[in-house]
Amino acid sequence: MKEEIWSILSRVDVGRVLRDEPMARHTTWRIGGPADVLVLPEEQDQIRRLMALVGERGWPWLVIGKGSNLLVRDGGIRGVVVKLADNWSQMELEGTTLVAQSGRLIVSAANHAIHWGLAGLEFATGIPGSVGGAVRMNAGAHGGEIKDVLTWADLVFPDGSLIRKSNDELGFGYRTSRVAEWGALVVRAAFGLAPGDTAEMMSRVKAWTQRRRQTQPLAQASAGSVFRNPVNHYAARLIEEAGLKGRRVGGAQISPVHANFIVNLGGATAGDVLALIHLAQEEVYRKFAVRLMPEVRIVGEDVETGG
C-alpha cells in the first residue's frame, strides 16, 4: 500500500509529500515511529484533492496539527498522515469574528484576539494545540470550551467535498464533537467574540500562565493532560493518591510536578508511555474503582505485532 500511495501522491499536486517520515518530529512528546506518507498541503484545493484520493482509494488516513495531544506507537502509521500546522495557519478578522485556518495554534489565535481587544478566547491560552484539533475535541481550559465561542467550521470530507457546519451541527460534548464520527477534516473555524478590555484580559492570562508554570512540567516534552477528568474527580489527584507520582518506565515518567502529565525524559518510546498509562489505569481502578479514560489520541501500530 505504501508504494501505491507514494507513487500516486508524488505525482499529484497535494502539497509537500514525505515518505517514511518519523512521527517523533511531529509530536510534542517527541515520540513515534514512521508514517508511510506524510503530506503538508498549503492550499484548500490541495486538501480537497488529497481527501478525494484518500476516499476513492480507501487509504487509511490521519490528520494532525502540532501533535500536542497525540501518542504515535513505535511501529508508526500506515497510510497517509495529513499535517495542517504552519503550512495552513492564516487568520483574519471579520468584524468581531476571528476566522483561522485549522493549523493555527489556538494559543496564537487567542493572543491575537486579546491584542485586538476581543474577548471570549482567553481560556484557549492554556491549550497547546491547533485550531483544528481544538475544534475536533472541543478543547477547554479555565472554565471555557471551544463550543462556547465557535460559530462555524469548514470541513473537508473523504469525497473531497467542503461543507460548513454550524456550532449546533457539530454536536459538541466533553472533549468530543461529531468531526471524528463523520471522518472529516477541519480546515477553517470562526469564533464569535465580543469587545473586551485588553489590559484586563492580559492580566488574567498572565495569572493563569504563572500558575501553569508552577504546577505543570512545561519545560519537558509531554502531550499535556493524559487522562480526562472522571465525573466528580480529578485524574491527577487520583494518580497521585495511588502513589504513582514520579513513577518511571524507561525514558518516560509520570511527572513529579503534575500527575496527569507523562514526560519524555529523553529517549522514551511509545511503549514506555503506554506502560505508564496502563499502570495508572490499573492502580486507580484497583484503589478507587474509577476508570481513567485517555484524553490523548493513541494511534499507529506496535513494533512487535504490526497491529
Q: What's CA 180's distance to the chain center, in Å? A: 13
Cell numbers standing for residue 132: 483544528
Residue pair 132/63 in contact by the 8 Å Cβ criterion: yes
CA–CA dist 28, 34 (Å, integer): 15
CA–CA dist 183, 196 (Å, integer): 36
CA–CA dist 216, 169 (Å, integer): 35
Residues identified as active-site: 175, 225, 295
Alpha helices in the chain (DSSP H): 2-9, 44-57, 106-115, 131-136, 179-182, 198-215, 235-241, 270-288
CB atoms within 10 A of CB 260: 24
